[in-house]
Amino acid sequence: MPMILKFETLTREAFAPFGDVVEAVDSVHHFTINAGNTERYHDLAHLAVDDKGHLIASILRGQPRELPFTIQEMERHPKASQLFMPLSGRAYLVVVAARDAQPAVKDLQAFLCSSNQGVNYAPGVWHHPLLALDKASDFLVVDRAGPGENCDVVQLSEAAIIPVLD
């Protein structure tokens, strides 16, 4: 029997083992600039890159996943962090597993992310590729360019299912 994933609401605390939540909320460090016009929610992600690479900005346009959806593989980027910020005003899903071992289905953790929340995967954190919902959705992505392989992919020995969401 494949495991049915349970999704939890994305919070900074719950996601801390995997990286950062990028959102403008009162609980993060913020201050006023531009003569009172603008509130700056400051330095929300640990952007990391190895010495040989550099950070780049791209836009990823993901087609919506059809639910139920089967999770069969996970990937990780050992040389840099990877930030996804939603641009299309739609919720999306994140499925991650802790950094250390080969991930198994029991290690997966699943988050429902609101349209105002970005995520920044720390280097080496296993995650499923983009899981957009409902319609094609754009994300600003900050990740790495540079020499060397920076994407490990692993097949899960058992599948996990993203159910139709309530």
Closest of 80, 92, 89, 84 to residue 57, by C-alpha = 84
Of 5 and 144, CB closest to its own copies: 144
Phi and psi at residue 106, to the nearest 5°? -65, -20
Taking the complex as a whole, how short is the minimal distance between the CB of residue 93 and its own copies, in angstroms?
13
Taking the complex as a whole, how short is the minimal distance between the CB of residue 165 and its own copies, in angstroms?
18
Taking the complex as a whole, how short is the minimal distance between the CB of residue 142 and its own copies, in angstroms?
6
Of 61 and 157, CB closest to its own copies: 61
Taking the complex as a whole, how short is the minimal distance between the CB of residue 61 and its own copies, in angstroms?
5
Of 54 and 135, CB closest to its own copies: 54
From the CB of residue 57, how many other CB atoms can be counted at a distance below 10 Å? 10
Rg (CA), the chain: 16
Contact 134, 48 (CB under 8 A): no
Of 13 and 66, CB closest to its own copies: 66
Give the Å distances, CA to CA, from 48 to 29, 67, 82, 123, 129. Answer: 20, 33, 8, 7, 19
Which residues here bind its own copies, judged by CB under 8 A? Answer: 22-24, 33-35, 37-45, 47, 54-63, 65, 83, 85-87, 89, 116, 118, 120, 129-130, 138, 140-142, 145
How far apart (Å, rounded) are the C-alpha atoms in residues 99 and 20?
Answer: 14
Taking the complex as a whole, how short is the minimal distance between the CB of residue 52 and its own copies, in angstroms?
15
Name beta bridge partners: 111.
8, 94
Of 7 and 41, CB closest to its own copies: 41
